[in-house]
Structures are given as structure tokens and as C-alpha cells.
Structure 1
Amino acid sequence: MSHLPVLTDLRRRVPLGRRVLFGDRRRGALTVTGVAVALLLVLVLDALRVGALERVTAYIRTSRADVVVSQEGVRTMHMSASSLPEDTADKAAAVPGVAWAVPVAFTSTAVDGPDGRLLTYLIGYDTVTGRGGPTRIEEGRAPGRGEALVDDAAAAALDLPVGSAATVQGVPLTVVGLVSGGTSITNTTVFVSAQQYADLVAPTVSYVLVAGDGAAHAAELAAAVAAALPGTTVQTREQFIASESAVVGDMSADLLTLMDLVGYLIALGVVALGLMTSTLDRLRDYGVLKALGAPTRRLAGTVTSQVLWITGLAVTVATVLAVILSALVPLLAPTVELSVTAGSVVSAAIGALAAGLVGALLPVWRLARVDAATAFRSSR
């Protein structure tokens, strides 16, 4: 007598993959938890990399400029030196479609406080208009001569509250305000007036930030500015950010890529091993199905269903935990930022699904190669 009609009727009524997985809820929960922890490692490592890039490019990302003008051949601020003629901003402002153009002075130096020293970007800007400076002053006011704005994370690390003295280029400057988002694991940002920058370093135009009046696309505006300023490099803000991210990524590629790769391989190994173990633990159930006449595709479908359930639940749990960590970590370590992206979640999910299918289907493939009676006996 064939058991196939019984199996077919059972298949229509009962979602076997989910039923087998959660028949033992404790075991199912442990499997999901193990996979989720592995995926959390991948998400956190990638969020650390993305967060570091976002911090390094925070100044230009949050700028209100549409176009950035720099010295010919210079495409970044990070690890770069740019010098432009003093009249560059005036020439850029005269281009049709330009709403405003402001010069910015920039150099890399260090800031000292009572509790230590940090590498810093020193930016001199027009404090009257505020253009070229921080997007927002969190506490205090814009700086004048002998004064500076310090990032709040650096202020906390160096013990530099408003009213204290920060030493920049060997000169003590009174901290009159705090900004945010400009401190990474490698450096911070200090803002001073253009006049104070000239006193500290030299009268300099490093970059010119240009904003359009909205009549033209950023790329069209950049082309018009480039035509008016031969011998300079003109980029849209997005192009400048991409150049910054690329140079920072190249500098840290060995460490971050190695961390990501090792973490990813470990996670995939854990996922494959975990789902293989889960399948082996339920091999008796699959032996019963085979003894009832289930074809190989039915066994594979049941296991695939389990992998989909486990991966889906684990990705959800890992993503929620990663988002929570991205909010908590900056509170404990202000210089560290975690940025969880949709691309990272999708990549982790695809990798986990592939590794899980390989690990889970191997035992079933071996079981499918023997006859039904042997499969039932070997699974007992």
C-alpha cells in the first residue's frame, strides 16, 4: 500500500519545515540565536567601517555647498594640501547660477587639552555668514580672534569644556562653543575664524565652497565653475565625498578589509555548521518522511524551508541588535560610530542563506542516496 497519498495530504495541511524546526522550541531558539550572533558580528564590523568613513567625511557631507573647488590635482581634504589664489571665491561667485562662494582654510595639526592630545583638522571660515563652518553649534557661539569651536567628543576626551583653553599650533585658544559629529577614531575637528587661522598658520585659501541658486543641477554648476576657473579641480559635493571615502578606504583597507573578511568567513562557518547540526539532529524525522515515500525534492524542500525560517528570524534579530548597538556605542565611546546599512544587511542575509543551504542540505543529500528502509533505520 502506498503512503504517498497520506504524505501528500499531510503536506497540504502541515507546513513541515516550520513544524519540524519548532517541534522542539528550545532547540529551534538556540539555532536561531546562534545564527543571529554570527550575523551580528558581520553587521557590527561593517557598521564600524561605514561609521568611520562617515565621520571622516562629516564636514563636507553636512556642508551646504553643491560644488568644491580645490588646487589642480587635489581631490580630497584628508592627507592633502590645497592652495588657491585669493580671488578664487570672487571669480566663482561671478559665475551665472552661483548663489554664493566662500573660501575655506584647512590644515592638519593637533589640539591639546588638560587630558591629552588629538590629531585635528583645523578649519578657518567666515564666521559672519557661517558658511564653510559647522552646520550647527551645539553649545556656545561662533569664534572670534583667540577663540575656537571644538567637537564635543574631543572636548569630553581632552577635558575642554566651554570657557577652557585649547592649545592649537602652540597657541592657547578659548573654547567658546561645541559642535558635533567631527571626531573619529583617528582625529577631530577644530573651527576658527579666517582671521585666527591667518594668525596661526598663514593667510590661505585652501578650498572654495560653492552653492547654486537651484536653477542648475550640481554637475552643470560644477562644469560652469570649472570653465571659469581653469587650473583648478572642481567637483560636486558627491564626487568630493566619494574621493574622500576612497582615500580613507585605501589607507585603512588592509585592516578593515581583513576584519570584515575574517568576520564574514567566521560567521558563514558558524551558520553552515549550526544548520548542519540542526539538520543532523532532525535526521530521524527526515528518515520517517523518506520511509513514507517522500521524494528527494520533498526532503530538500522541507530543509530549505527551515533554512529560510532560521535565516529570516536570525537576520531580523541581528539587525535589531545592531541598530540598538549603533545607538548605544556612541554614548559609551563618542569617537566610535556604527552605521548599519541596508546593503550590509542584504549581504549578510544572502551569505547566511547560501552557507545555511550548503550546511543543511549535505546530510539530506546523503540520506537521499539510500533506500527508504535503510534511511529509517539509520536515522533512529
Structure 2
Amino acid sequence: RSGRADPGRGGAVIDQGIAEKSGVGLGDEVEIMGRTFEVVGLSGGTTSLTNSIAFIDSDDFSELRGDPGVVSFLLVRVAPGASPPVVARRIESEVDGVTVQTRQEFAAQERRVVRDMSTDLVRIMNAVGFLIGLAVMGLTVYTATLLRRGEYGVMKALGARNRDLYASVVVQALVSVGLGLAVGVGFTLVLSALVPRLASNLGLAVSLASVAKAAVASVVFAGAAALLPIRQMRDLDPAMVFRGK
């Protein structure tokens, strides 16, 4: 995000959020694996719940490991106009014993590693929270439908047919879901902007796919909850409603 992208000998590029949290800036010194490095650049999106990533020169890293000549991976900058997949295949064909990946392939592999290591519990917690939210929403719609029995009785006394009542129930449920979804998405977007400022090692990402999944599930659950009292709507006697029964 700022400073140099190439750390060079004796330099380090660290995450900007970690730097702000630690009170470190460009030109300051940090200790990595027992050795002091000068902060020459700040990166973004290189931190997680458990750790952060610092970039140093490959020669410095070899000296720190005590095993010069051995590296995990190298980053290759492709010349302007060149095709990364073509360059990757060419390197792989000319250099023995290496696996060459494009940026997208490498990112996908790292995401799989992180997912396999630590996200199972998070996904279970997300699923439980999602189901609880759907249950609460369904119960709210169901209860709201029953509480309006008197209004539906008046509509039936005025000549409304059963299918008119069903349509009214479903429309009210969909309107409630739409308003609730809009408020929920807005609240989530606000949190996604605030959380990184309050906790630099934690970020929230809101994807269109997750919003669509929540919207579809909410509509299905709300529609089912609204139609559960359908038998009561069908057998509703306006006279009994007016008597308060």
C-alpha cells in the first residue's frame, strides 16, 4: 500500500494494520526471527486471526533458516504484455522439479489450505447462527400472522375470498423479509467497515453470493411460516372473531 514492494537486503514489508496497531511506520525497525529489519513497505490484506505475513529478501530468509539455497516458493514478475499462464507453463517446462502457478492458482491453493486447517469450526458456527436466524424469522412471521386474525376476519366479512387472504399473508411476509434483509445487509456493511479499524487482524467480507443465499432462504422460510396457519385462515369465522374468540 505504501513504501517499496521489494524489501531488499535488510528490509521488510509488513502488514499496514499490524504496523498501525504496533505504532510502527516506514523507516522503523522490527525484529523478525531474532534479527532486526528496517520497515521499507506496508502491505494490505496479509494478516489473519492468528498471524500476519512479513516479506523479506530471499537471501536474508536463507540466512535466518540456516539452510541457504532452499526456498519454499519464489514470486516472478511477468513483463508487461506477457501472459502469466504461458510464462508459468514455460518456466515449468524449462526448470526441473518445480511447480509453477499463476496468481489465481496460488491464491486458490492457499485458501484451500487455510480452509482445511481452521475454518471447519467457523463454518459450523456460521451454519448454526444462520439456522437460528431463520428460525427466529419464521417464528416472528408465524406469530405476526396469527395476531392479525381479527383483521383477516374483517376482510372475510367484507367478502374477501380465502385466496385473497393467502395472498395478503404472503405479501406481508415478503415485505417483512425484504425490510429485514435490507436492514441486516446494511448493518453488516457497516460492521465490515468498522471491524478492521477496531481489530486490525480481522476483516469481514460481504459477497453477493452470501447475500443471495440469505435472501433465498429467508423468502422460503418466511413463506412457509406465513402459510402454516392457512387452515385457520380457511376456517376463519368472522362472527367468532367479532366475539373475541
- Please state which band the TM-score falls in when normalised by the shorter chain: 0.7 to 0.9
Name the CA shift for 1:318/1:310 in 2 (closer, same or farther; >3 Å).
same
Q: Contact 2:48–2:202 at 8 Å: present in 1 too? A: yes
Structure 2 distance, partners of 1:291, 1:379, is 15
Matched, 1:269 2:135: yes
Report what 1:245 is aligned to: 111
Q: Deviations over 1:138-161 (max 9, x none)?
A: 247854433322222222344434
- Alignment equivalent of 1:166, drawn from 24, 30, 36: 30
What residue identity is the alignment partner of 2:213?
S
SS of 1:148's partner is strand
Report what 2:102 is aligned to: 236
- Alignment equivalent of 1:154, drawn from 11, 14, 18: 18
What residue identity is the alignment partner of 1:330?
P
Report what 1:199 is aligned to: 63
The structure richer in helix per residue is 2
Q: Contact 2:142–2:229 at 8 Å: present in 1 too? A: yes
- With structure 2 as the length reference, what TM-score do the two structures score? 0.84
The structure richer in strand per residue is 1
Q: Contact 1:307–1:360 at 8 Å: present in 2 too? A: yes
| Worse-matched range after superposition: 228-237 or 310-319 | 228-237
SS of 2:39's partner is strand
Matched, 1:299 2:162: no
Name the CA shift for 1:184/1:371 in 2 (closer, same or farther; >3 Å).
closer
SS of 1:203's partner is coil
Residue 199 of structure 1 and its aligned partner are, at CA, apart by: 2.6
What residue identity is the alignment partner of 1:200?
L
* Identity between Structure 1 and Structure 2 (%): 37
Residue 173 of structure 1 and its aligned partner are, at CA, apart by: 2.1
Name the CA shift for 1:239/1:146 in 2 (closer, same or farther; >3 Å).
closer
- Is there any run of 5+ residues in structure 2 with no aligned partner, and where? none
Q: Deviations over 1:67-121 (max 9, x none)?
A: xxxxxxxxxxxxxxxxxxxxxxxxxxxxxxxxxxxxxxxxxxxxxxxxxxxxxxx
SS of 2:146's partner is helix
Q: Deviations over 1:330-375 (max 9, x none)?
A: 111111111111111111111111111122222233221x254466
- With structure 1 as the length reference, what TM-score do the two structures score? 0.57
SS of 1:149's partner is strand
What residue identity is the alignment partner of 1:151?
D
Name the CA shift for 1:379/1:203 in 2 (closer, same or farther; >3 Å).
farther
Structure 2 distance, partners of 1:223, 1:301, is 59
Report what 1:287 is aligned to: 153
Name the CA shift for 1:198/1:256 in 2 (closer, same or farther; >3 Å).
same
Structure 1 segment 87-102 matched on structure 2, within 5 A: none
Residue 306 of structure 1 and its aligned partner are, at CA, apart by: 0.8
Structure 2 distance, partners of 1:348, 1:175, is 43
Residue 257 of structure 1 and its aligned partner are, at CA, apart by: 1.3
Matched, 1:362 2:192: no
- Alignment equivalent of 1:309, drawn from 161, 175, 179: 175
Higher RCO (CA 8 Å, separation ≥ 6 residues): 1
Structure 2 distance, partners of 1:292, 1:208, is 77
SS of 1:232's partner is coil
Q: Contact 1:304–1:357 at 8 Å: present in 2 too? A: yes
Report what 2:50 is aligned to: 186
Residue 170 of structure 1 and its aligned partner are, at CA, apart by: 1.5
SS of 2:100's partner is strand
Structure 1 segment 222-233 matched on structure 2, within 5 A: 222-233=88-99
SS of 1:235's partner is coil
Structure 2 distance, partners of 1:142, 1:300, is 65
What residue identity is the alignment partner of 1:339?
A
What residue identity is the alignment partner of 1:329?
V
What residue identity is the alignment partner of 2:43?
V
Q: Contact 1:212–1:221 at 8 Å: present in 2 too? A: no
Matched, 1:350 2:179: no
Structure 2 distance, partners of 1:182, 1:215, is 27
Name the CA shift for 1:297/1:220 in 2 (closer, same or farther; >3 Å).
farther
SS of 2:14's partner is strand
Q: Contact 1:303–1:360 at 8 Å: present in 2 too? A: yes
Name the CA shift for 1:264/1:160 in 2 (closer, same or farther; >3 Å).
same
SS of 1:277's partner is helix
SS of 1:252's partner is helix
Residue 298 of structure 1 and its aligned partner are, at CA, apart by: 1.6
Residue 192 of structure 1 and its aligned partner are, at CA, apart by: 1.7
Report what 1:115 is aligned to: none
Name the CA shift for 1:206/1:305 in 2 (closer, same or farther; >3 Å).
same
SS of 2:202's partner is coil
